[in-house]
Every structure is written in structure tokens, then in C-alpha cells.
């Protein structure tokens, strides 16, 4: 994979989204163009942005708004859904609690995963068994987030179908027993403004 790309590619995947389940999708030049762009992005950059994804703008706006409302709550309220081993490592993390390469991250977050029933992934998955923790305030956050998750998981299936075609396989190559029962992660992140956080003094 090349590492000298100048920017992360932005791919309009609307043709793939529109014809993802069409048996004749591989004969559509617009779909094949998207497949080619996915192939190039994965080989050269390893990352890509998408537009034309079909997730309603109104839902994205509502998700952002409800996230702001949660993070604006008093600390004591947010801690009612504190992340813990007993909760399958789902829930709220305060500012600085998440560590990256030994350095506390200056953000707060709600961690959500696909809900795991006991024994679903055997002993390996035991630590993340459980259900997601949602706050009572804002009261509609659970409904909005679960709707958003549903859109995102369906979108990911469509993108993976394009990647399967790019690899020369059938569109459903990564479905069924091979990878059709995917695990997902959602992290809702809040970054405090400079005025909201007391930064440590430099010495």
C-alpha cells in the first residue's frame, strides 16, 4: 500500500447504494466506477470518506444535537451510565479516562457495541457481553442512536459489497457464514472547549 497520498479520498457511493441489491449491478458503469474508486482508495490510502450514503441529513443533525445535550449535562448525571466491566465496557467515559499510547485523551465519550448475549462469542467475547447503556436524559437519545446505528450497519454492508466486487469476488462474498453477522462499534465523542477544561500547568 502506498503511503504518499496527498489527501483522503472522497467517494460518491450513491450509485452503489441505489443498486446494491440489483442482480445486474456489475453491468452498471456507475457502480463499476464506484467499485474502482473503492479499490484505489483501499490500496493507496487505506481510508476514504463517502458521500451520497443515503443517511438522512435530518437524522445526522438530530444525532449531533442529542449528543451535545448529553455532554452538556452535569457530570453526576453522565456518570449514571459510567463505563464498567460489569456493563461489558459500555457507557460513559469522562475526560482523560481513555488512554492512547499512555496519554489521556482530552475528550469524553459514550461507548456502544453490538449487544452480546452470553456465550455468543464463547470465552473470547465474555468481557463484552451485555447491553448498551443509554441515559434517561435526553429521553429520546436511545431511539435516535439505534436508528442511526441501523442506517450505518446497512450502509457498511453496501460498502463491503463494493469492496468484495473490487477484490474480484461476488458481491455477497463477505456475507453468510464468512462475515454476515458483523460486530460493530459506535463511540459518541464530546470535545470540551478550551474554556471548559482546566489544562495542567507547564513546568
* Residue-wise pLDDT tens digits, 16-27: 999 988 888 888
Q: Per residue in 155-184, pLDDT tens?
A: 999 999 999 999 999 888 888 776 778 889
Strand partners, 82: 92
Coil, strand, or helix at residue 178?
A: coil
pLDDT band at 192 (very low <50, low <70, confident <90, very high): confident
Coil, strand, or helix at residue 80?
A: helix
Q: How far is CA 15 from the centre of its chain?
A: 22
Q: Which cell goes with 135?
A: 441515559
Give the whole-angstrom CA distance, residue 123 versus residue 132: 20
- Burial class, 118, CB count within 10 angstroms (exposed 0-12 / middle 13-18 / buried 19+): exposed
pLDDT band at 194 (very low <50, low <70, confident <90, very high): low
Nearest to 142 by CA among 193, 99, 81: 81
Give the whole-angstrom CA distance, residue 60 versus residue 188: 12
Count, in order, helices (H) and strands (E) of the chain.
5, 7
Q: Which cell goes with 76?
A: 453526576
pTM of the model: 0.86
pLDDT band at 199 (very low <50, low <70, confident <90, very high): very low
DSSP annotation of 200: P
Task: Average the pLDDT over 28-54 and give the result.
Answer: 95
DSSP annotation of 128: G
Coil, strand, or helix at residue 118?
A: coil
Give the whole-angstrom CA distance, residue 136 versus residue 13: 36
- Full set of structural domains in the chain with CATH: 1-54 (no CATH), 55-196 (2.60.120.330)
Task: Average the pLDDT over 28-52 and give the result.
Answer: 95
Give the whole-angstrom CA distance, residue 147 versus residue 134: 14
The 8 Å CB, 24+ separation contacts for 100-108 are: 106/191, 106/192, 106/197, 107/189, 107/190, 107/191, 107/192, 108/71, 108/78, 108/189, 108/190, 108/192
Q: Which cell goes with 168?
A: 474480484
pLDDT band at 203 (very low <50, low <70, confident <90, very high): very low
* Phi, psi values for residue 86, rounded to 5°: -65, -25
Amino acid at each position: 500500500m502506498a503511503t504518499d497520498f496527498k489527501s483522503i479520498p472522497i467517494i460518491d457511493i450513491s450509485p452503489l447504494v441505489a443498486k446494491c441489491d440489483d442482480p445486474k449491478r456489475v453491468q452498471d458503469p456507475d457502480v463499476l466506477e464506484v467499485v474502482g474508486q473503492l479499490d484505489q482508495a483501499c490500496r493507496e490510502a487505506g481510508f476514504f470518506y463517502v458521500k451520497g450514503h443515503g443517511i438522512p441529513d435530518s437524522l445526522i443533525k438530530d444525532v449531533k444535537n442529542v449528543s451535545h445535550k448529553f455532554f452538556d449535562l452535569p457530570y453526576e448525571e453522565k456518570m449514571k451510565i459510567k463505563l464498567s466491566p460489569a456493563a461489558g465496557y459500555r457507557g460513559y467515559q469522562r475526560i482523560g479516562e481513555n488512554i492512547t499510547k499512555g496519554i489521556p485523551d482530552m475528550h469524553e465519550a459514550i461507548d456502544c457495541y453490538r449487544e452480546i448475549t452470553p456465550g455468543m462469542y464463547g470465552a473470547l467475547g465474555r468481557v463484552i457481553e451485555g447491553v448498551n447503556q443509554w441515559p434517561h436524559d435526553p429521553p429520546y437519545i436511545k431511539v435516535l442512536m439505534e436508528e442511526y446505528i441501523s442506517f450505518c450497519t446497512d450502509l457498511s454492508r453496501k460498502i463491503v459489497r463494493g469492496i468484495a466486487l473490487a477484490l474480484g469476488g461476488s458481491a455477497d462474498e463477505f456475507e453468510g457464514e464468512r462475515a454476515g453477522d458483523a460486530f460493530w462499534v459506535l463511540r459518541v465523542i464530546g470535545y470540551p472547549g478550551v474554556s471548559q477544561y482546566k489544562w495542567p500547568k507547564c513546568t
